[in-house]
Homo-oligomer: A and B are copies of this chain.
Amino acid sequence: MAHEFKTQRRVSFAETDCAGIAHFSGFFRYMEDAEHEFLRSLGLSVQHESDDGSVVGFPRISAHCEFSRAVRFEDVVDIHLWLSGRRKSVLEYSFRLSCEGQEVAIGELVVIACRVTPDHALEVADLPAPFADQLEVAPYGPLEFRSRTGKQSGGDS
């Protein structure tokens, strides 16, 4: 059983913006790529081919990130992913991103197993057996998002 994964990522030039820092939307791609790398490390794919030939994917139902420091071109971001929730069809991944030992962001992706129907609609499905067999919730508390706790952010009073 696995519950966490660590990886690194270097900020690309194209990921920066004219404020000179990595654009915030890229953090969601970092988190998703880390999720997929975690699954690959277990022999799983986020595009799961079932035994019956159907494909189960994991569309995101929630994505959340809080940013505390900027990162810049060529910075290396350390990404710590852990599974913070698991239900019949839903996986909740939490992320802590840091750079040179300082936290830069925390994030969360909530995804739901869906089977793609022949007419390209999405239909909620149970977690595929290899996911259910190998993934367990990490022994860490949930992330404390400022917006969830009611504490607001950033130097204001």
Q: Show the binding face of A for B, using Cβ within 8 Å.
A: 12-14, 16-21, 23-26, 28-29, 32-33, 36, 40, 45-47, 57, 59-68, 70, 72-74, 87-90, 108, 110, 112, 116, 120, 122, 124, 145-148, 152-157
Q: 24 interchain pairs (CB within 8 A)?
A: A13-B17, A13-B33, A14-B17, A17-B18, A18-B47, A19-B116, A21-B122, A24-B59, A24-B63, A25-B28, A25-B32, A28-B28, A40-B74, A47-B73, A62-B64, A62-B66, A62-B145, A62-B146, A62-B153, A70-B122, A90-B152, A110-B147, A112-B153, A112-B155
CA distance A76 to B110 in the complex (A): 25
